[in-house]
A and B are shown apart, each in its own frame.
Chain A
Amino acid sequence: MGRKLLLEHANVPGIETFEVYRRNGGYRSVEKALKTMSPQNVVEEVQASGLRGRGGAGFPTGMKWSFLAKPEGVPRYLLCNADESEPGTFKDRYLMEKIPHLLVEGMIVSSYALGCNQSYIYIRGEYMWVLEIVEKAIAEAYANGFLGKNILGSGYDLDLAIAPGGGAYICGEETALIESLEGKRGNPRIKPPFPAVKGLWGCPTVVNNVESIAAVVPIVNDGGAEYAKIGIGKSTGTKLISACGNLVKPGVYEIELGLSVEEFIYSDEWCGGIANGKKIKACVPGGSSVPILPANLITKTAEGTDRLMSYESLAEGGFATGSMLGSGGFIVFDEDQCIVRNTWNFARFYAHESCGQCSPCREGTGWMEKVLRRLEHGQGHMHDIDLLAEINKKIEGNTICPLGDAAAWPVAAAIRHFREEFEWHVTHPDEAVKRNFGIASNHMPLV
């Protein structure tokens, strides 16, 4: 069994209540930090832990915190990113639903470290029921003196509130999240200035993922050095992985980084293998925006070494033969799945979710979706495959925010590894349509 730092108590009955959470060691990190550590000490522990942001990009959290501008007389803000809309990713929901006080505790310690007196949790609007769970935890923390004025007599004040979204994936991008929190459309801002200098209402702001903030709790409790001992290389600590697709046991797992991909997929402790005794065909290891891996590159790298669940190992070989750990949304495809259909489905997602601000993304994602839809429905041409690569190049690197890249990379990777399947759709149009699970409408007209 791997060590669990976040979900250790997740299945204790009543753990969502303050009382049970506290009895199981909850809020110790707040006591320790506020009574025995300076904010700078907390930042140093987080730096020593090597924790990398769990929202997708993997940027070191301690370093991000050290960039926060601290002008005199200007408030600064910590925003928790609970927008969780990356297809394949459902770990933050699990954490908030099961053990909401862990997030509240993490928010208090992190806000203290950053010198914030007002923090917000931005939660996707569809998670209204999760919002109610976390809001209850916040109320309990207030009632027990862990939020509000003069927390534990330390002189430190903190207010914590929740803001719901309205169903836009783009609001997970940090500057779009800030716009949305200000009560506007979720259009990403041009950077620089970065939020660390000019964020919410023009004030210095840190945006961190739910899991990153929760991880600060064990880091403060046990020390950054202890945390850094877990994991492998620059991938320290544990990571929540949400596994889905054609697996025997899909679900949310806390793993120690460095676990082998083979063990994760096939051992009974984790996903239990591929459902219905089928073979694996492909895997998207880090949420829909990362490149897909074909069967031969899932458990082994191109060099022939074991592929591990870590930032480095999953990326080994770059985009040619590797992928990314991303948000930890681990999607597995069995041998019967159609890659073209799936690529089209994801392209449709990005076309739907583009905020429309920049032409390469707005037009490009829609165009790719149309071409892929054609191919999937047996109405494509050979040159469509190269056309997709062309559109890709036009989007990549030419947009305000990374959504454009996130839409482009998976298409490029699917063509790179499964080109014959795209060609087969052109040469066997009738069979491609039949393979379409017998479903005619696909809920969108062909144009």
Chain B
Amino acid sequence: MSISVTHNYTDQPEPEFSAEKLLEVQRFISMYPEGKQKSALMRILHLAEEEFGGWLSVPTMNYVARLLNIQPIEVYEVATFYTMFNIEKPGKVVLEVCRTGPCMLVGSDQIIEYIENKLDIKVGQTSADGMFTLKTAECLGACGYGPMLQCGKHYHEHLTPAKVDELLDTLRKEHSEK
């Protein structure tokens, strides 16, 4: 699973959380005993992704290390192990279609192929307009409601080509305004 992160260094300065988000960071840290603040790492990485463009650049990870008073390598290790963290900049919207057995039994392969054709990309790629990145995911705990995909925090279940069309239109509208 591990991927090198050194290539994702950007010249950008370290980002910073707003005062409001810093309070949240403090709340996450306070959930653990004194000296065990490293346990809050994953929660803060999720927050950092949400706040800083949907991915973890090296400056972002260095900032998180500083917040937690741990070594940057401790953050890189975690960010590269867990599949949910993006260490490469994705499109504005990331679509993660479940491809595991139970979803496959009810047509996930066809849904993946349908999206590939529609966006003219392959799994792992980003559409030419920079809007959609298509990924596959392993079982997301929606096996009885497949085929399904996750987009941000949202689950979209019982997918059909028509539902995919509708979803992509809605997402495109929502995100082109931003």
Of B4-12, B13-21, B34-42, B166-174, which stretch is located at the interface? B34-42
Interface size class of B (residues with CB under 8 A): 35 or more
Q: A86 to chain B: closest CB distance in Å?
A: 7
CB of B94 within 8 Å of the partner chain:
no
Residues of A within 8 A of B68 (CB): 183
Residues of B within 8 A of A349 (CB): 100-101, 138-139
CB of B150 within 8 Å of the partner chain:
yes
B window 37-64: CB within 8 A of A = 38-43, 45-46
B window 91-121: CB within 8 A of A = 99-102, 104-106, 109-110, 112-113, 116
Q: B75 to chain A: closest CB distance in Å?
A: 9
CB of A288 within 8 Å of the partner chain:
yes
Residues of A within 8 A of B31 (CB): 120, 159, 161, 163
A182 to B39, CA, bound (A): 4
Residues of B within 8 A of A166 (CB): 42, 45-46, 78, 81-85
Residues of A within 8 A of B104 (CB): 341-342, 345
Of A49-57, A386-394, A437-445, which stretch is located at the interface? A437-445
Of A16-24, A25-33, A126-134, A311-319, which stretch is located at the interface? A126-134
Q: B130 to chain A: closest CB distance in Å?
A: 22
Contact flag A93-B141 (CB < 8 Å), given A88-B101, A168-B81, A245-B105: yes
CB of A85 within 8 Å of the partner chain:
yes
Of A58-66, A299-307, A329-337, which stretch is located at the interface? A329-337
From B33, B137, B144, B145, A118 is in contact (CB under 8 Å) with: B33
Select the residue from A181, A250, A345 with max chain B CB neighbours within 10 A.
A345
Interface size class of A (residues with CB under 8 A): 35 or more
CB of A164 within 8 Å of the partner chain:
yes
CB of A125 within 8 Å of the partner chain:
yes
A window 427-447: CB within 8 A of B = 437, 439, 441-443
Judge whether A86 and B139 touch: CB under 8 Å.
yes
A244 to B77, CA, bound (A): 35
Known pairs A244-B144, A250-B144 / 18 extra A-B pairs, C-beta < 8 Å: A85-B138, A87-B102, A125-B42, A125-B46, A126-B141, A164-B42, A166-B45, A166-B82, A183-B38, A185-B77, A252-B144, A288-B139, A355-B1, A439-B109, A439-B110, A442-B109, A443-B112, A443-B136
Show 17 A/B contacts (Cβ-Cβ < 8 Å), sorted by A. Answer: A86-B139, A88-B139, A124-B141, A128-B46, A163-B43, A164-B43, A166-B46, A182-B38, A183-B41, A183-B68, A184-B77, A185-B81, A244-B144, A246-B105, A345-B100, A346-B100, A441-B113
Please name the 5 residue pairs, one residue from A and one from B, whose CB atoms are nearest each other, closest first. A166-B82, A167-B84, A250-B144, A183-B38, A161-B31
